[in-house]
Chain A
Amino acid sequence: GQQVMQIPQYQHVQEGEDFTTYCNSSTTLSNIQWYKQRPGGHPVFLIQLVKSGEVKKQKRLTFQFGEAKKNSSLHITATQTTDVGTYFCAGHQGAQKLVFGQGTRLTINP
Chain B
Amino acid sequence: NAGVTQTPKFRILKIGQSMTLQCTQDMNHNYMYWYRQDPGMGLKLIYYSVGAGITDKGEVPNGYNVSRSTTEDFPLRLELAAPSQTSVYFCASSYSPGQGFDSPLHFGNGTRLTVT
Contact = CB atoms under 8 A, between A and B. Distances in A.
Interface in A93-110: 94-103, 105
A42 B109 contact: yes
Contacts of B45: 97-99
Nearest to A47: B104
Given A30-B101, A96-B31, A102 B42 contact: yes
Interface of B: 31, 33, 35, 40-45, 48, 50, 56, 58-59, 90, 101-102, 104-110
A94 B101 contact: yes
Interface residues of A, number: 27
A96 to B, nearest CB: 6
A92 B45 CA distance: 13
A49 B40 CA distance: 25
Contacts of B58: 97
A100 B32 CA distance: 16
A100 B41 CA distance: 10
A103 B41 CA distance: 7
A48 B106 contact: no
A96 B90 contact: no
Contacts of B41: 102-103
B104 A42 contact: no
Contact of B106 (A45, A88, A96): A45
Q: Which 10 A-B pairs have the closest CB atoms?
A: A45-B104, A42-B107, A102-B42, A100-B43, A100-B42, A31-B102, A92-B101, A103-B42, A43-B107, A42-B109
B91 to A, nearest CB: 10
A62 B35 CA distance: 27
Given A92-B101, A101-B42, 19 more contacts: A1-B59, A6-B42, A30-B101, A31-B102, A33-B104, A41-B109, A42-B108, A43-B107, A44-B107, A92-B102, A95-B101, A96-B48, A97-B45, A97-B58, A98-B101, A99-B59, A102-B41, A103-B42, A105-B40
